[in-house]
Structure 1
Amino acid sequence: MKIMKLTFFILWGSLTFHSLVYGIEVDGARDESYGDPVAVQNIQTGFGDPGSELNAAYALVSEGRLHLMLTGNLEPNFNKLEIFIDSKSGGQNQIIASQNPNNDNWAAKFDGFTFDSGFSADYLVILRHGFNGTQLDLDFTELGARGKGSLVGRFDPVGLGKTGPFEASNGMVLGFDNTNSLGIGSNQGQSANRENAALVRTGSELAIPLNLIGSPKGEIKICVMINGHGHDYLSNQFLGAMPEWTRNLGTNGQGDFIQDSSLKTIDLNNYEGDQFFVIPSSGPSLRILDFSYDFASGKVSITWASSPDSFYTLQSSIDMRSWQEIDDGIESQGELTVHDHLISDDKSKNRFYRVVKE
Structure 2
Amino acid sequence: MTLGLAVPSAFAGFATVTVDGTVDAAYGAALAVQNANTSFGDATSGNLIGGGGSEMDALYVAHDNTNLYLCITGNLESNGNIHLVVIDNFDDNSGITGAFAGINGADGYFQTNGSGNGMGGSTFPSGMNVDYLGAFKCFNNPLEWRYQTSTDMATTTAFGNFATGATTNPAINSQNGYTFALNNANTAGVAGTGGGFPASGGPPGSVTTGLELAIPLTELGTVTLGTTQLGIFVAHTSGDANFFSNQCLPPAATPQDHFATDPNFTTLNTGFVTYNVVVPVELSVFQAN
2:17 matched to 1:24? Answer: yes
Q: Match of 2:212, as an amino acid?
A: E
CA-CA distance at 1:282 after TM superposition? 3.0
Superposed CA RMSD:
2.4
Tell me what 2:273 maps to.
277
Unpaired runs of at least 5, structure 2: 1-6, 44-52, 112-117
Tell me what 2:173 maps to.
166
Work out the CA distance in 2 between the residues paired with 1:222 and 1:283: 16
Work out the CA distance in 2 between the residues paired with 1:278 and 1:133: 36
Change in 2 beyond 3 A, CA 1:157/1:52: farther
CA-CA distance at 1:213 after TM superposition? 0.7
Tell me what 2:81 maps to.
79
Paired-residue identity, % = 26
Tell me what 1:200 maps to.
207
Normalised TM-score (structure 1): 0.66
Deviates more, 1:25-34 or 1:208-217: 208-217
Where in structure 2 are the equivalents of 1:127-276 lying within 5 Å?
127-132=136-141, 134-145=143-154, 147-151=155-159, 154-158=162-166, 163-169=170-176, 171-188=177-194, 189-193=196-200, 196-217=203-224, 218-251=228-261, 263=262, 266-274=263-271, 276=272
Tell me what 1:327 maps to.
none
Work out the CA distance in 2 between the residues paired with 1:75 and 1:107: 20
Tell me what 2:281 maps to.
286
Tell me what 1:8 maps to.
8
Deviations 1:113-162 (A, max 9, x none): 211221122111111111246212232222433x3412166232525x66
1:96 to 82, 88, 101: 101
Is the contact between residue 186 and residue 207 of structure 2 (CA under 8 Å) also seen in structure 1? yes
Deviations 1:282-335 (A, max 9, x none): 3211325xx7xxxxxxxxxx4xxxxxxxxxxxxxxxxxxxxxxxxxxxxxxxxx
Work out the CA distance in 2 between the residues paired with 1:67 and 1:194: 27
Runs ≥4 in structure 1, deviation > 3 angstroms?
none
Q: Match of 1:95, as an amino acid?
A: F
Work out the CA distance in 2 between the residues paired with 1:228 and 1:200: 23
Normalised TM-score (structure 2): 0.81
| Higher-RCO chain (CA-CA 8 Å, sequence separation at least 6) | 2
Unpaired runs of at least 5, structure 1: 1-6, 11-20, 252-262, 292-301, 303-338, 343-358
Is the contact between residue 42 and residue 194 of structure 1 (CA under 8 Å) also seen in structure 2? no
Work out the CA distance in 1 between the residues paired with 2:15 and 2:41: 37
Is the contact between residue 139 and residue 153 of structure 1 (CA under 8 Å) also seen in structure 2? no
Is the contact between residue 235 and residue 250 of structure 1 (CA under 8 Å) also seen in structure 2? yes
Deviations 1:78-135 (A, max 9, x none): 01111111113221122223xx353211122222221122112211111111124621
Deviations 1:164-196 (A, max 9, x none): 541112x11111111211131112121115971
Work out the CA distance in 2 between the residues paired with 1:133 and 1:225: 25
Work out the CA distance in 1 between the residues paired with 2:209 and 2:9: 30
Q: Match of 1:340, as an amino acid?
A: Q
